[in-house]
Amino acid sequence: MTQGDVTDLTAAGTLDWVKWGNGEADGVVFTTVEKTGGTIINSALTEIDPTAAGAPSVILATFNPATSILGFSWTDGTAAMAGGNPVDNVVTQTMTPAQFSYPIGIGQSFTAAATAESRVLDVYVQGFNSDMQLTAALSGGASQSITVSPTINPVGDAPNFFSFGRFRIIYSGAGETLTVSTMTINDGSRVGDQSSFANAGMFAATVAPASAVPLQINPGLNDAWYNPVTNGQGFLIAVFPDSKTMFLAWFTFDTDRPPGNVSAFLGDPGHRWLTAQGPYDGDTANLTIFVTEGGVFDAAEPPVTVPMKVQ
């Protein structure tokens, strides 16, 4: 996503949506707006507070940035947009009593109901002056996390580092509950103003049927895949989100069977080893396919890899 993007929650959250914060000034009092009649997302946010008893405590607060990071609009909420315009509040953490340096490991979480049918939950998040860990965990035990580093210096707030975007979760599980959390972690590379007030916040969340949302290329595709109709051949896929690059190995056969008198010492004479690599964006990858040829098993001389034209 790009700084300043506006998301229509009504269009994106056909099953349910929640917007945390609705135009309030910075502070611990904020409004939670929900889709009218929505029941999937439990909009209550729970603080993640690693501090010891008696130490300064983590509390949730809303911040209304001078320069919009992400904006949100809607037409079917339990309250109208404040001022009738897209809302850009983020709900994140602060400390009481007030502190300059926040402990690493603070955050927040919420839950959503799961069913046997797949749903897509999009969570719009912001990290501030720390790496941010995003985790989705089903009550049945399945869990996945990613880490996002803040690399954006928004106009009007140059001393600080932000990360922001959409955390997309495709989930299912009859009778299970999905818990989504943001939490600060730090690799130690940010110091001074770039490390103070580290927090991990949420703007909004939407839920839609999986069938209504196009599949986006993501690391969840990292594995070996095949079509049962053509058992015995398939792909090994590796997605690298940091560089927006995709690699695959294509295990397949020649388009025609070699003559019956052709034999091989290792494998089948019709085997073909192809690889492909290139950039991806959204649901589309533009990959150059390479064919590796001229090699001999365990030979010191490397084989030749050349681009291949597919017609």
Q: Render each residue's pLDDT in the chain as its tens digit; 311 residues.
A: 788 899 999 999 999 999 999 989 889 999 999 999 999 999 999 999 888 877 889 999 999 877 778 999 999 999 999 999 999 999 999 989 988 778 888 999 999 999 999 999 999 999 888 889 999 999 999 998 888 877 666 655 666 777 888 998 999 999 999 999 999 887 555 665 556 788 899 999 999 998 877 778 888 889 999 888 888 889 999 999 888 999 999 888 776 777 767 666 655 665 677 889 999 988 899 999 888 776 677 777 777 776 765 54
Strand partners, 126: 164, 201
The neighbour count for residue 287, using CB atoms within 10 Å, is 16
pLDDT score of 271: 66
pTM: 0.73
pLDDT score of 311: 41
Question: Euclidean distance between the first and final Cα of the chain, in Å?
Answer: 35
Question: Cα 296 to the chain's mean position, in Å?
Answer: 42
**For residue 55, what are its two tokens?**
């130490």
Question: Cα 173 to the chain's mean position, in Å?
Answer: 20
Q: Measure Cα distances from 41 to 30, 35, 134, 167, 206 in Å.
A: 18, 10, 17, 15, 8
pLDDT score of 22: 94
Task: Decide: 217 and 239 in contact? Cβ < 8 Å.
Answer: yes
Cis status, amide bond into 97, omega within 30 of 0: yes
Distance, in Å, from the CA atom of 242 to the CA atom of 217, rounded to the nearest integer, reads 13
CB within 8 A of 141, min separation 6: which ones?
A: none
pLDDT score of 67: 75
